[in-house]
Amino acid sequence: MSIATYEEVSTACKQVGLATGTMELIRHGENAVWRVDSSTIAKVGRPGTAAASARQVAVAQWLSEAGFPAVALSDVGPQPVVVGDVPVVFWRQLPPHRMGEVIDVPRILRQLHALPIPAALGLPRLDPLVRLEQRISESTCIDQVRQDWLLRHVEDLRLSWSRLPVGLPHCVVHGDAWVGNVAITPDGQAVLLDLERCSVGPPEWDLVSSAIRLRSFGWITENQYQQFVEVYGSDVTCWAGFHLMRNTRELRMATYLVQLADRDPTMVRDALYRVDCLRGEHGERPWPWTPSL
């Protein structure tokens, strides 16, 4: 973790009147997440992503007004707080909770997808390939051959997305709907986390993440997936656009690990393995990818 990130979140805390003496880094992935105190979490975006952070804030406010169970903003004044070009958003610490299970995901997605699209919010259209070229081009852990293949793959996927088959009616989608973004409180309430990818698009994009946990990686059982389908009421694997969405989600997952491997050499071997799976060098799915990432 860079000292600069600590300094930026510390500066943001001071701007909204929060003490920084007990700050603790929780996670450093796509964003850095800090525990500021017992009731406040700070999420630090990448440089130049203030617009995406502002979208999170607007979505959180809209969901709160709609009575939807989602992570809540901390009451610390106007957000996001931008330090230089780094946005920081403050959230309320969740009560004790556990990570959601497969069956919890379709329950909360049905609620989200049933909400009317908030025209006043100006949500963008879904961009399933956002930042992928940047992740690939900036990587230091993949060689030129892999990099060139990945960039061509992105181009092919983008062309295919322009011809996406008709599916379910478009709605507000979460954008990264998996068990890790659903928290379950002790009273059984499911709470949706991580709102930065919320947009308007095909609901199948939210469904495919759970489908590939079975079809691509074997992380869940057939019975678990059938329960998912029964609760949501639709099986994305039967739709003509499934393979395109599957390939896109797999690419996002692989390049996310590539991004982490640029900072952590212990992840390089797994990152390269995932990329080579996509290139067809490790046989047919399901592939034995590490399920925690």
Over 60: is that where the pLDDT of 1 sits? no
Please state which CATH class domain 104-278 belongs to. Answer: alpha beta
pLDDT at 67: 97
CA distances from 95 to 13, 18, 189, 233, 277 (A): 21, 20, 11, 31, 39
Site of tokens 């996002």: 252
Q: What is the mean pLDDT of residues 66-86?
A: 95
Over 90: is that where the pLDDT of 169 sits? yes
pLDDT at 212: 98
Q: What is the mean pLDDT of residues 50-72?
A: 95
pLDDT at 103: 97
- List pLDDT tens digits, range 85-128: 999 999 999 988 999 999 999 999 999 999 999 999 999 999 99
Topology annotation, domain 3-93: Phosphorylase Kinase; domain 1 (3.30.200)
Q: What is the mean pLDDT of residues 131-158?
A: 97
Intervals of CATH 3.90.1200.10 along the chain? 104-278
pLDDT interval class at 53 (50, 70, 90): very high
List, in order, residues 6 or more apart from 63 with CB less than 8 Å away: 70, 192, 195
Q: What is the mean pLDDT of residues 195-208?
A: 97
The chain-wide mean pLDDT, for the chain, equals: 94
Q: Give the orientation angle of helix 268-278 with respect to helix 242-261, to 10 degrees.
A: 160
Structure tokens at 60: 């959180």
Other beta carbons less than 10 A from residue 203's beta carbon: 24
- Give the pTM: 0.94
User: What is the per-residue burial (b if ≥16 Cβ within 10 Å, else e) of 99-124?
Assistant: ebebebbbebbebbbeeeebeeeebe
> SS3 of 268, please?
helix
Intervals of CATH 3.30.200.20 along the chain? 3-93
Over 80: is that where the pLDDT of 189 sits? yes
List, in order, residues 6 or more apart from 54 with CB less than 8 Å away: 80, 87
Q: What is the mean pLDDT of residues 229-235?
A: 98
